[in-house]
Chains A and B, each alone.
Chain A
Amino acid sequence: MFAADRSSLSEIFIIFQCYSMANDLGPGSLNFGVTVRTRTEVTMTQDELIWRIAGGSGDGIDSTSQNFTKALMRYGLHVITHRHYPSRIRGGHTYVEVRAGAEPVKSRGDGFNFLLALGDSFARNPQEKAVYGDEEVKPLTENLDELNEGGVIIYDTGVLEPEEFPDLEARAEENDWHLYPIDLRSIAREYGRDVMRNTAGVGATAALLDMPLGPIEELMSEAMSGDILEANLKVLEDAHEMVLEMDHTHDLEIPQNEHDEDQVLISGSHAIAYAAIDEGCRFVSGYPMTPWTDVFTILSQELENMGGVAEQVEDEIAAATMAIGASHAGVKALSGSSGGGFSLMSEPLGMAEMTETPVVLVEAMRAGPSTGLPTKTEQADLEHVLYTSQGDSNRVVFAPANAEEAYEQTRRAFRLAYEYQLPAIVLYDDKMTGEYRNLPKSFFDREPNPDPGSVVTEADLEDLPHDAGGRYERFQTDIEGSVSPRSLPGQRGGRFLATGNEHWPDGQISEDPTNRVLQMDRRVGKLDAIRADLDEEDSFNTHLGDADADFGVLTWGSQQGTVEEAIDRLADRGVAVKALGVSEMMPMRMDEVREFIESVDQVLIVEMNATAQFKGLLQKEFGAYAEKLSSLLKYNGNPFEPAEIVEAIEIEMDGGEAEPTAQTTLRRAAGD
């Protein structure tokens, strides 16, 4: 079915039906436990590998997948990962998916084509009627529905006994799956410990893909040493050799490519943390919360070696307040959390706005409300981040789409926060924390920018206005560009009062109406100054697809790559669609977004939440276009797959009568 010549293959697309089984207990299925089949049309090529390693939490899924992903990158491929994990430390179905190809990869694929099912060795209750179901087998059974036709399955018969899956062979035949039951546990036990099943699985994978062991062995040697390394190498080689001798019935091979420069494997969280380092951030304070913990951990480990300070503190109120305190005293600072912890930061956030103290906050979204789905993704904190805290808000919010954007936008967030003396927030989500992708190493070859922004020196202070008692007028109202430069405690001639109350130019509390209006106008005016500043810079918003298309997709944050993949696929079928991925949420580039909406007949707004928050924001600004704007929403805890967006665009283009088959929601434009 597939020729060996890959260059010709890249043009060939196979369209087939993928049945996704959803154990849907929602209104669609009234019978408890009845399995509902939903159908999504899937398009995919066989010139890429989408490898999924599935096991229980504690089976080493994360580390194994990261090393294998690195090996694929070193092998010359472009890679992206998608992480799916439960809110548990031991046991519970978890998987990581790696998509690798010769061309740059923009998003996760539809389904996958290679399953390494380890089984859950920490399963609590291997009984079907248990609350969590039979956990031991989930790493195999729960992944089959998304496995594409022609896919390869390795499963560890040491944990997953074939007789437990009487239907597997029949399903495999129906879907042209290729089964490789292998006792990985025995191989692991022979040389080391049970947990090395994951290494055996990687060896078996390499054998089936015709992938050399070199890059994998190299990485293992870098990560381990001594007996552990020896044992793992033996397990790897033994499994590899054993599987090479098996009959291979599949035709999936590893794609071929070479990178023309050094690559690094980076997650969105690394990109944010590294941008902070390069902007001279030397203070981080936080409280652990998934998935914000990633950025917090990276910065905690690095800043102390860079002359900085990292503090894990009692709660997120303290965390944000401390970043403000450090910044007030002259150190560039960052704090952050996920939705729940960010709620506690509302109060200090408003204080930073009122006292005009620069600070950068990170908000790593996960599915809410309340504790929600702690380890699953969503984009439902947009309104929270834009408006939380009493009074008129006065902040910058960027929502990067991927690791490169996360780096660029975090750097600009620091520059704007410190130049304009306000909070700048980087809003991203769980999808991006677990999304590792390759970037050229040279991307990070930049100059640091430790400039503390609009801060005076003691020499400056001699010529700046002071009140009759000698206090520096740090909050001057009649100042060009709205920014009144700040002094730092310890500077001679700079003393002033910072206060959350309204205040006179020297900081003293004031309820004078005229002064109030002057100070408010100046503070709020900083957003206009930032707009003007940003007009001089390249937009962080991303235009994709056919500029002449009549159909447009608007999205924000992490869904941009998936939208790009969807419209590329439609373009390959001759369907013209364009898209705008918005990152600059506040202030928003009104003209750019307006021009985009005006340039098309229909706009589909794609976002991961239930109440269409981004659409609401756009309608607040562009109410006149309500009849053009429809919404595609997803809030089941998983990010969009490209096929779901393709399907929705096609329904919309077709008059919008049909319902999507996937677990997505399509909301028609008003007035239709």
Chain B
Amino acid sequence: MSAFNAIKSGDDVDRDDYTPAVEPQPTWCPGCGDFAVLKALKGAMADIGKDPEETLLVTGIGCSGKMSSYFDSYGFHAIHGRTLPLARAAKMANHDLEVVAAGGDGDGYGIGGNHFMHTARENHDMTYIVFNNEVFGLTKGQSSPTSPKGHKSKTQMKGVAKDPVRPLSLALSAGASYIARTAAVNPNQAQEIVAEAIEHDGFAHVDFLTQCPTWNKDARQYVPYIDVQDSEDYDFDVTDRREAAEMMHQTEQELYEGTVLTGRYYVDENRRTYQEEKQMREEMPESPVAERYFDDSVEWERSYDLLDRHM
């Protein structure tokens, strides 16, 4: 008998089950793209039928980090850039949990870039949504890792001298096994992609373009967008790493030239998840470690039995 009965409860859920009854109204600015991420996540969870209490949503710091306040599940509003280590460890402690991490582009591609690379490399079975608005919103408009070259802000008066980070290419070379980009202005595609990402067995990275109407007024609102799967102008195989890499590169480039490309970029269904890799090596038990503490039949090991080597 499990100590965690919300897990695989099979209870019917709809999107409203994810809306908190207390303080349901997000504090984001009117027109903010973040609303669309929340909506897509609620919809995707309901589509898949995940119980709010078998779900752990780990968020970072910034406007995006507040999503865990407006999404009614177990939540951990962590510190800037550290969502991924927190989320992946929770997954290893109890691998039956549905774990989703979310944060901004500064959080994921800047301060948490090292964790992004390593979590992707390990291919944990979890989802990472990056709210990419190309600017630091909550600190009032400084240039971010994805701001276009030349972007002017109070801390970059003469325009950013750096090339922006390439999020999709970065995820691919680091080892993510599902990589997609969607946009706030494309709610149907967003919900589908988020659902696919959650259902994917492995590390799923969704770069979610979220317009910032307050600090990025001059930027595109990410319309019109093109779905690369729907358009006849683009033809590539999402399971082919080389073709995916090329398409990603083009997509990242064209965003700064005014064309908003979205869709699925890379899907590898064959790569083993980190949990599977560890279990194959007998480095991780078959049933969740967290269950052990509630299982009276467990015989706890003692250091006393390790002492032969010390005699």
Contacts and interface: CB of A to CB of B under 8 A. Distances in A.
A506 B22 contact: yes
B9 A324 contact: no
A497 B283 CA distance: 31
Interface in B52-85: 52-56, 58, 61, 66, 68-69, 72-79, 82, 84-85
Contacts of B6: 490-492
Interface stretch (A46-54, A157-165, A270-278, A371-379): A270-278
B249 interface: no
Contacts of B54: 489-490
Interface in B68-118: 68-69, 72-79, 82, 84-94, 96-97, 114-115, 117-118
B289 A325 contact: no
A309 B77 contact: no
A310 B283 contact: yes
B284 A448 contact: no
A285 to B, nearest CB: 7
B78 A490 contact: no
B74 A500 contact: no
Interface stretch (A109-117, A328-336, A559-567): A328-336
Nearest to A300: B283
A282 interface: yes
Contacts of B3: 457-458, 488, 490-491
Interface residues of A, number: 83
Interface in B7-30: 7, 9, 20-24
Contacts of A507: 75
Interface in B281-298: 282-285, 289-290, 292-294, 298
B301 A471 contact: no
A322 interface: yes
Interface in A490-509: 490-501, 506-509
A285 B5 contact: no
B86 A328 contact: yes
A447 to B, nearest CB: 8
Contacts of A332: 293
A444 B311 CA distance: 13
Interface string A431-466: 000000000010011101011100101100000000
A307 interface: yes
Contacts, number: 237
Interface in A302-326: 302, 304-311, 313-315, 317-319, 321-326
A489 B303 CA distance: 30
Contact of B22 (A277, A313, A318, A469): A469
Given A469-B22, A492-B5, A498 B290 contact: no
Contacts of A506: 22
B271 interface: no
Contacts of A317: 82, 85, 115
A468 B77 contact: no
Most chain A CB within 10 A, of B6, B54, B56, B77, is at B77
B52 A495 contact: yes
Interface in B262-277: none
Interface stretch (A173-181, A257-265, A548-556): A257-265
A151 interface: no
A103 to B, nearest CB: 21
B115 A314 contact: yes
A481 interface: no
A282 B76 CA distance: 22
Given A314-B114, A325-B87, A347-B82, A307 B5 contact: no
Interface of A: 70, 74, 262-266, 270, 273-275, 277-278, 280, 282-283, 285, 302, 304-311, 313-315, 317-319, 321-333, 347-348, 351, 355, 441, 444-446, 448, 450-452, 455, 457-458, 467-471, 488-501, 506-509
Given A450-B292, A495-B72, 15 more contacts: A277-B302, A304-B284, A307-B292, A309-B93, A315-B114, A326-B289, A329-B90, A455-B293, A469-B21, A490-B54, A490-B96, A495-B53, A496-B74, A497-B69, A508-B22
13 contacts: A274-B306, A285-B89, A325-B87, A325-B90, A329-B89, A448-B301, A448-B302, A489-B54, A490-B7, A490-B74, A490-B94, A491-B53, A492-B9
